[in-house]
Structure 1
Amino acid sequence: MAKIITFGEIMLRLAPQGYLRFFQNDVLEATFGGGEANVAVSLANFGLDVAFVTKLPKNDIGQAAVNQLRYFGVDTAKITRGGERVGIYYLEKGASQRASKVIYDRAYSAISMAKSEDFNWDEIFSGVEWFHFTGITPALGQNVADICLEACKKAKEKGITISCDLNFRKNLWSSEQAGKTMGTLMPYVDVCIANEEDAEKVFGIKASDTDISGGKLSHEGYKTVAKELKDRFGFKYVAITLRGSISASDNNWAAMLYDGSEYHFSKNYAVHIVDRVGGGDSFGAGLIYGLVSNMGACDTLEFAVAASCLKHSIEGDFNRVSVSEVKSLMDGDGSGRVQR
């Protein structure tokens, strides 16, 4: 069984019930989520041996986050305890033509204030085969970006496969900042994961004949994006999710995978969205699962897209699905009929 490490921030998510607007009533539902934590939970649900690494305060909220990860079978032994607070994000889910909205309250969170000495990467990476992080983590501050670089160097020294989801967040840093910092990390990465606009926002690599707002995505344009990314940084794989946004409630969902010689495109799913947060993370987890399991490029891509398609039907950040459910959808059973 593979041993996988994901590194990043787990946050408290506060959201109105259903599709209500902020404080339309006096209830906010509290759950946990965050890019790399979402990936860890998905991989644990798929039966892989995965640990999440972060820094959390020694208080009841920090412990609740740890307990939530443990519930899903994620190894939390490598989490550093300390700092003052858990980061928060507020989510207002969109519907129809009203977009979803995210407000961050994560300044001075424990992980954003972390120091290099908080993490012994030589010990953390003992016996590990795969390391995953996202572009959200180095965006938390130069100190965290430096920690990411230390982790990547140690992982590469130990021959560990490294994956990174670019995950550009304009509320955390500018494109210029992202390009400079991520450019120093990418030479260590083996598997680059991006959505349909990350490459443009971070590295200025834009797909031709594409209108993201209008839901028009060009396969040929994204082939060029994938090749440029690989040529610039030497990735073994480049995976790009392709979201055709019809509205906040309905999307077309597909992806491509470039392995350096062939471009693979998945089937397209017409998705009616319950909760899209974590959709990219569930794709990343599916991709890691397929590659670790030696499923082959086409099946790996189809598994990742199917896993992410199912996530869009589930409330909360975490993708609560099994391998068998994903494979059933891969094999063509998307009817939604009751399973008895």
Structure 2
Amino acid sequence: MKYVTTFGEIMLRLKSPHHERFFQSPALEATFGGGEANVAVSLSLLGDKARFVTALPKDAIGDGAVSEVRKHGVDTASIVRTDEGRVGIYFLETGANQRPSKVVYDRAGSAIAIAESSLFDWAAILKDSDWLHITGITPAISQSAADCALAAMKAAKELGLTVSIDLNYRKKLWKYGKSAPEVMGGLTKYADVVIANEEDIQKCLGIEADVDVTKGELSDSVYEQLAKKVQLQYPNVRNVAITLRESISADRNGWRAVLLGEKGFHVSPRYAIDDIIDRVGGGDSFSAGLIFGLRHMEEQEALRFAVAASCLKHSIGGDFNLTTRSEVESLMKGDGSGRVQR
């Protein structure tokens, strides 16, 4: 089995306890997370060989980030340790009911934000991989980070790997002078698989979506046409997955997805998630589930697997989806009662 390699930034996550406001109590819960690291951990726990690549400083916080990923079975040998830069931080305040969650970033000057693409020998890193995954988060933090992502994707295509990109539009991050479409359009030219929601497609690729989810317009045909627009603009893209989240409140979501693949248009079942523990990392768990599924299953089954895996992530605190393949498959078979297993 070859590796799935992911590239991006891992951060220190500081979260207010339970559903408290920032500094309502003096403590903040410290863990690690970040889109591409989340995907690597999930893939490893599902049973694939996963490698995570990033740049981290040579200090105790950087050591902690490496150890946290490695303990879940992820290969960390290609992580570059630097003398300059820091570990980025994000602060999370978890919402409840009608109060939304809040994220505050503190990642300027992080090791990956200032890393030069020459630090990464992609031919060596990817030689035993058959899949590369990146997101639109890392290219949003700096020009050099975007250059690193582009270099990774170009090398992957030259080596014949499948390349996936989760567009992951983050308005708060695009501050270095380039717009999201300027950067993400260039990256998507090298992708085989695009993962997004309808906002990501509009904000990152400049493709207009004839849909407004705030008005309850959830016609599958609308999303099929949107996915076809992506393929029309980027003929290299074989699969377009669009996640469909219905935000009823901070604690209650409807969750499903669609996939336009090489064998047609597929629609997943809908899950009613009525008691969300932590939705951060939910999209990453979908990406991991889809990658795993497309490597081992037919398209329809891969989509169902991805949505079920992501559904389970909403029950787990922290960024990582600590869920196994058997647990996902049990949910797919209808075992979603939450009853105690004895």
Same fold at TM > 0.5: yes
Q: 2:310 matched to 1:279?
A: no
CA distance in 1, matches of 2:315, 2:58: 34
The answer to whether the aligner puts 1:221 opposite 2:222 as a matched pair is yes
Report what 1:155 is aligned to. Answer: 156
Q: Write the letter of the residue equivalent to 1:125.
A: L
Which residue of the partner structure matches residue 255 of structure 1? 257
Q: Determine helix, strand or coil for the equivalent of 1:197.
A: helix
Letter in 2 for 1:281: D
Once the 2 structures are TM-superposed, how far is the Cα of residue 156 of structure 1 from its aligned partner?
A: 0.5
Normalised TM-score (structure 2):
0.96
Q: Would the aligned equivalents of 1:196 and 1:243 in 2 still touch at CA under 8 Å?
A: no
User: Residue 113 of structure 2 aligns to a residue in which SS?
Assistant: coil
The one-letter code sitting in structure 2 at the alignment partner of 1:62 is G
Q: Equivalent residue for 1:19? A: 19
Note if contact 2:308-2:331 (Cα within 8 Å) is conserved in structure 1.
Answer: yes
Displacement of 1:215 in angstroms is 4.7
Q: CA deviation at 1:260?
A: 4.2
C-alpha spacing 1:39/1:215, structure 2 compared with 1 (3 Å): farther
* Secondary structure of the structure 1 residue equivalent to 2:257: strand
Give the drift of 1:183: 0.8
Residues 304-319 of structure 1 aligned to structure 2 (within 5 Å): 304-319=306-321
SS in 2 for 1:78: coil
- The answer to whether the aligner puts 1:110 opposite 2:134 as a matched pair is no
Aligned partner of residue 247 in structure 1, secondary structure: coil
The superposition leaves residues 143-171 of structure 1 with CA deviations (integer Å, 9 ceiling, x where unpaired) of: 11111111111111100000000000000
TM-score (norm 1): 0.97
Give the superposed CA RMSD.
1.3
1:46 aligns with 2:18: no
Say if 1:207 and 1:218, in contact at 8 Å, map to a contact too.
Answer: no
The correspondence of residues 113-152 of structure 1 with structure 2, limited to 5 A, is 113-152=114-153
1:204 corresponding residue in structure 2? 206
**In 2 relative to 1, CA 216–96 (structure 1 residues): closer, same or farther, beyond 3 Å?**
farther
Partner of 1:288: 291
1:67 match: 67
Provide structure 1 residue ranges, at least 5 long, that are not aligned to the other structure.
none
Query: Aligned equivalents of 1:31 and 1:330: distance in 2?
Result: 30
CA deviation after TM superposition for structure 1 residue 10, in Å = 0.3
Secondary structure at the counterpart of residue 129 of structure 1: strand
Query: For each residue in 1:72-97, what CA deviation from the matched residue of structure 2 results, as whole angstroms up to 9, or x when unmatched?
Result: 00100000001231000000011111
Q: State the one-letter code of the partner of 1:31.
A: T
**2:341 alignment partner in structure 1:** 339
- Secondary structure, counterpart of 2:74 in structure 1: coil
